[in-house]
Amino acid sequence: MAKPGKVFIFFNCDAQKSEASMNIFYNRAVYKDTKTSRKNLWKKIKEEYGAERIQIAPENLKAVELAVTEGDPVKAGDFIQFGAIREVECY
């Protein structure tokens, strides 16, 4: 069996980040672990932030951008309120 890759999924969710509040059909997108896809994930986060559907303290915006574009996107969720990023194996 081939080694799995990974994809990231951005979810809008409640303040507790409960899995029940994360609806895969709301945003309907997954982001591959590539530079281009990570940039698109960051673009999505900025759109959600600009539309005030998620909250990020202004001083944490750069940390979120770096985690998404260069580091571990899942960790960016630590700085996002009403939003989360999950990693899923992809075959």
Q: Residue 77 carries which DSSP code?
A: G
CA–CA dist 59, 49 (Å, integer): 14
Mean pLDDT in the chain? 96
User: To which residue do tokens 């673009």 refer?
Assistant: 43
Number of domains in the chain: 1
The pLDDT tens digits for 21-50 are 999 999 999 999 999 999 999 999 999 999
CA atoms within 13 A on the CB side of 24: 7
- Quote the pLDDT of residue 89: 95
Domain that holds residue 45: 5-90
